[in-house]
Chain A
Amino acid sequence: MAKAAQSAPEVAPGVSHALSNDRLLSMYRVMVLARAIDERCLSLQRQGRIGFYAPASGQEAAQIGCAAALGDEDWIFPAYREIGIALWRKVPFRALMDQFIGNSTDRVKGRQMPNHYSFRDHNFVSPSSPIGTQITQAVGAAMAMQRRHVPQVTATFFGDGATSSNDFHAGMNFAGVYRTPTIFFCQNNQWAISLPRSRQTHSATLAQKAEAYGFSGVVVDGNDVHAVFDAVAAARERALAGEGPTLIEAQVYRFGPHSTSDDPHRYRSDADVAEWKRKDPILRLREELRTSGALTDEAESQLQEAVKREISEAIEAAEGAPALDPLTLFDDTFAQRTPRLEEERAEFQRLLREGVIRP
């Protein structure tokens, strides 16, 4: 159930009639794919085949419900946990896997740690690790959309922890002042590494922070794709109508560790996790689709098989791709290499040739 933030306008809760069974099935498929990728990648990291991974398990309905309500032309300003958004935008898992490895077909040329992929063709802007920085950028891109008078919005993604960052407040403030077509999509997964939501801010909700900046903030049940879809669709409609930004707080739970470097047993109990897992967004949508007859047992097992196959094939292909050419290091610092970078590149090339540096 969606519930309104204190003194914020209410968003209608309940089952959206906007989503057909076909659409729900395709959303379900991407949710299942995202979950299965998480599971495989955690084990790839343990095996030393990728360097790092930050799972999104538990956040699939929030991500895919949101992505489905956006237009492909809308710009995504993600953090590092937005796999569901990328997959919904039809980024093939192979392209993600290339990035996790940093091979020669990695679209970002091995520059960033896993999870920091970007795809201009999918309007999926490059994320960085510093928390919150994408938020003001999303507002700036929305200001550019206003200036160009195009029917587009920006959607920026961040966690509960990011609501304490400088750029959250600066971005919300600018968005309020200029009434930008921006959707601030906060996935409150209850944790910022080890810090619980209650210690992040004394505010009753995260959504209510929008009120201080002069626009509406809504809380939605992030395990309910319908509620998320409706809230985002409404926010998008308002943005396109020139009515400005919206903050959406999707309440979810991070089922897995913060990342492969994290041991959540140090700060939370298994009972707490188990409690939230009963609200697993994938089980919930599966139940709904079964009840409505849209998903049969046979279709479910075919889907699980297809997803496993797709993942295995992509991993194999990505691991088989040639390694990155080390000389690409000297590309893209500037549009053109400066004389200094040319010299450093020549020196590097010589050291490679002499075997002093070994790839």
Chain B
Amino acid sequence: MSEMTLVQAVNRGLFEAMKQDPDVLVLGEDVGVDGGVFRATDGLIKEYGAERVIDTPLSETGIIGTAIGMALYGLKPVAEIQFLDFIYPAFDQIVSELAKFRFRSGGQYPCHVVIRAPYGGGIKGGVYHSQSTEAYFCHTAGLKVAIPSTPADAKGLLLTAIHDEDPVMFFEPKRIYRTATGDVPDGDYRVPLGQARTVREGEHLSIFAYGAMVPPASEAASALAKDGISAEVIDLRTLVPLDEAAAVASVEKTGRAVVVHEAARFCGFGAELSAILAERAFYSLKAPILRVTGYDTPFPYALENVYLPNAARIEAAARAVMREG
């Protein structure tokens, strides 16, 4: 066990995976000599060489297309997309190819690539270094989607993703890369995909969040506790497969739900989660489900602090659902 930041935990996870299996390799822009623009791949090239830590030309479709070819052949590529905002040149390779290879070949060609991408706002990145577009990928059958919020989960989910048999989109909350710190188990530590984590237990309402929204959700729960409102905070950790059972069980217990994400609201992941809760926990609900999300505008630069959900907005939504029913 050692204490570290979230980005260090990603780095430890990559070191561990490359040590465990010579078929694991890392590729992307500036991942080698530079160690990645966020230093997530720092030191890997020194340890494992340029054959396994590949600095690529500036082409996302090239990165993902070649990663797919490597995976078809039996390697385990972990591709880095420098910012989630720049993934779209590879969108075709991800949604038309990676997600569908196993299915379209009748199971003959599994295609296991892990794609890491820092996502989200709060770093003064403006329109193109801030977006949270996980919903696009959740909507595509054949992709798993994981988003850690703690250093331990970052390492544990990443190692599981790398050893999984399916493609995994691994989105890293860059805003808390260095502010989220915590103990991380040494060695081969794995967190299963598809299992939510109860951050804190509560009786009166359930707050669902993931990635960089987990800390403000917890903060809101602490503030509510001072007024005797007991909020359960659930970190979803994987959006696909989603731990629907945990989400439904929590709402069956509390009867109220607030869903938080920094992505825009319309057709965001919260829409799916709200629909699932409405379908499966309707008779437990004492109040309408509320969503606390980014707005349905492109991501702003100067106004990011008021665009992004924070503890105060989450707390206000929680108080609103408490007033009903």
Taken residue by residue from 39 to 78, chain B's Cβ proximity to chain A (1 for < 8 Å, 0 otherwise) reads as 0000000000001100011010110111111111111010
Partner of B56, one of A112, A171, A174: A174
A136 touches B65 (CB 8 A): yes
Q: A107-B106, A141-B70 are in contact. Are A128 and B97 (CB under 8 A)?
A: yes
Q: A293 interface residue, CB < 8 Å from B? A: no
In whole angstroms, how far apart are the Cα atoms of A345 and B244 in the complex? 17
Q: A126-B101, A130-B92, A334-B166 are in contact. Are A137 and B68 (CB under 8 A)?
A: yes
Partner of B105, one of A118, A147, A338: A118
Q: B25 interface residue, CB < 8 Å from A? A: yes
Query: What residues on B are CB-neighbors of A167 within 8 Å?
Result: 61-62, 65, 92-93
In whole angstroms, how far apart are the Cα atoms of A142 and B73 in the complex? 9
B73 touches A118 (CB 8 A): no
In whole angstroms, how far apart are the Cα atoms of A116 and B240 in the complex? 28
Taken residue by residue from 144 to 185, chain A's Cβ proximity to chain B (1 for < 8 Å, 0 otherwise) reads as 110110000010000000000011001101100100000000
Q: A107-B106, A173-B62 are in contact. Are A340 and B57 (CB under 8 A)?
A: no
Q: A125-B109, A128-B97, A333-B141 are in contact. Are A140 and B241 (CB under 8 A)?
A: no
CB distance from B244 to the nearest CB of A (A): 7
A174 touches B142 (CB 8 A): no
Instruction: Using C-beta atoms within 8 Å of the partner chain, give the interface range for chain A.
Output: 35 or more
B241 touches A340 (CB 8 A): yes
Q: B108 interface residue, CB < 8 Å from A? A: yes
B65 touches A135 (CB 8 A): yes
Query: What residues on A are CB-neighbors of B144 within 8 Å?
Result: 334
In whole angstroms, how far apart are the Cα atoms of A337 and B98 in the complex? 17
Residue of B nearest to A106 (CB): B106
Partner of B74, one of A116, A118, A144, A335: A144
In whole angstroms, how far apart are the Cα atoms of A107 and B109 in the complex? 12
In whole angstroms, how far apart are the Cα atoms of A334 and B100 in the complex? 9
Which chain B residues (273-320) contact chain A, with CB distance < 8 Å? none
Query: What residues on A are CB-neighbors of B62 within 8 Å?
Result: 136, 139, 167, 170-171, 173-174
CB distance from A206 to the nearest CB of B (A): 20
CB distance from B43 to the nearest CB of A (A): 21
In whole angstroms, how far apart are the Cα atoms of A340 and B89 in the complex? 30
Partner of A332, one of B68, B71, B77, B106: B106
Total interface residues on B, using CB and 8 Å? Answer: 49
Which chain B residues (114-165) contact chain A, with CB distance < 8 Å? 141-142, 144, 164-165
A133 touches B96 (CB 8 A): yes
Partner of A144, one of B70, B103, B166, B244: B70
Query: What residues on A are CB-neighbors of B103 within 8 Å?
Result: 111, 332-333
Residue of B nearest to A109 (CB): B106
Partner of A174, one of B66, B68, B166, B244: B66
A144 touches B69 (CB 8 A): yes
Query: What residues on A are CB-neighbors of B72 within 8 Å?
Result: 125, 137, 140-141
Q: A225 interface residue, CB < 8 Å from B? A: no
Q: B245 interface residue, CB < 8 Å from A? A: yes
Q: B270 interface residue, CB < 8 Å from A? A: no
CB distance from B291 to the nearest CB of A (A): 21
Q: A116-B104, A120-B105, A174-B59 are in contact. Are A136 and B110 (CB under 8 A)?
A: no
Q: A101 interface residue, CB < 8 Å from B? A: no
Query: What residues on B are CB-neighbors of A333 within 8 Å?
Result: 102-103, 141-142
A143 touches B108 (CB 8 A): no
In whole angstroms, how far apart are the Cα atoms of A278 and B317 in the complex? 76
Query: What residues on A are CB-neighbors of B89 within 8 Å?
Result: 166
Q: A333-B141, A335-B110, A339-B245 are in contact. Are A141 and B73 (CB under 8 A)?
A: yes
B97 touches A133 (CB 8 A): yes
Mark A residues whose CB is within 8 Å of B: 75, 77, 106-109, 111-112, 116, 118-120, 125-126, 128, 130, 133, 135-145, 147-148, 154, 166-167, 170-171, 173-174, 177, 331-336, 338-340
Beyond the given A136-B61, A137-B69, A144-B73, could you list 20 further A-B residue pairs with CB under 8 A, ordered by the A residue number?
A107-B106, A118-B108, A135-B65, A136-B69, A139-B69, A140-B71, A141-B69, A143-B69, A144-B69, A147-B51, A166-B89, A171-B66, A173-B62, A174-B62, A177-B57, A332-B107, A333-B102, A335-B164, A335-B165, A340-B244
User: 24 A–B contact pairs at CB < 8 A?
Assistant: A111-B103, A116-B104, A118-B106, A128-B100, A136-B62, A137-B97, A140-B65, A140-B69, A140-B70, A140-B73, A140-B77, A141-B73, A144-B75, A148-B73, A167-B61, A167-B65, A171-B65, A173-B62, A174-B57, A333-B102, A333-B141, A334-B166, A335-B110, A336-B165
